Amino acid sequence: MQNFGGNPSNRTSILSELSNGNAELGEAFAIILNDMVGQTGITNPKSEPFDITSKSWRTLAQKPDKTPDEIKKLDEGLLSSVRELAESYLLFIARQTRNLTGKIDYAQYEAYLLKYRFGRYQAENKPEYLTKVKIQIRHAFDKISSCSIAGNDNLIDKNDMAAYIYALTMKSKQNQANKFAGFEIDGFISPENYAVCEHNLFEEGENLFSVKLRTANKILNNKL
């Protein structure tokens, strides 16, 4: 059990909010994501895809001629894996920022990214670069915290984080006329797709990743 300090009721709050989280899994996920891109967001050629699913899920997914029950099992298994990973990632972030609720505010999200995404580039010692990075982090926080169908509470909770992780697995499809034809999901987060997602996440305003976030939130809440 992690010791977050503070009074027992606060510790109970985070353990209740993120009861399915595993901080070690969250840390591993954070390290793998950070390794996928370099300082400018370009894909790291030495990085590898991250599979958010289990071996049994992957085996079933590769089976031809799946039954309706098997397809349902795949859908439910993918959502379960996404939610577990979301709680684990949030639990790790909470431990790093001394958050006691399991719901991350902007200051904590900024502190986390400055340390784990941009710390190796010594952003704190480069004023102009730091200003640019903080603007990007603000855009990212606004997109993730506002994707919920329940509205924006200016916090990133486990539902927002689940939408974020699910969105990272979504790849755009094109029809024969090379026009957008929706999304496909295979349970993998590839370095190439992550680099594009992060670029869109850091941009100001609405873009394709904003659509992915809202679509993911609807899927996770059975509204699509």
Which of the residues in the chain have pLDDT under 70?
Answer: 1-12, 150-151, 224
Q: What is the pLDDT of residue 20?
A: 93
Residue 144 inside a domain? The answer is yes
Q: How many domains does the chain have?
A: 1
Q: How many CB atoms within 10 Å of residue 87? A: 24
pLDDT at 213: 96
Per the structure, the complete domain to which residue 120 belongs is given by 8-220
In a domain, 195, yes or no: yes
179-219 confidence digits (pLDDT tens)? 877 788 899 999 999 999 999 999 999 999 999 999 999 99
Task: Tell me whether residue 1 is in a domain.
Answer: no
pLDDT of residue 158: 96
**Which uninterrupted H or E stretch holds 209?**
helix 208-220
Residue 2 counted as domain residue? no
| Within-domain flag for 216 | yes
- The answer to the question of residue 3 being in a domain is no
Q: Are strands 188-189 and 180-185 parallel, antiparallel or unpaired?
A: unpaired
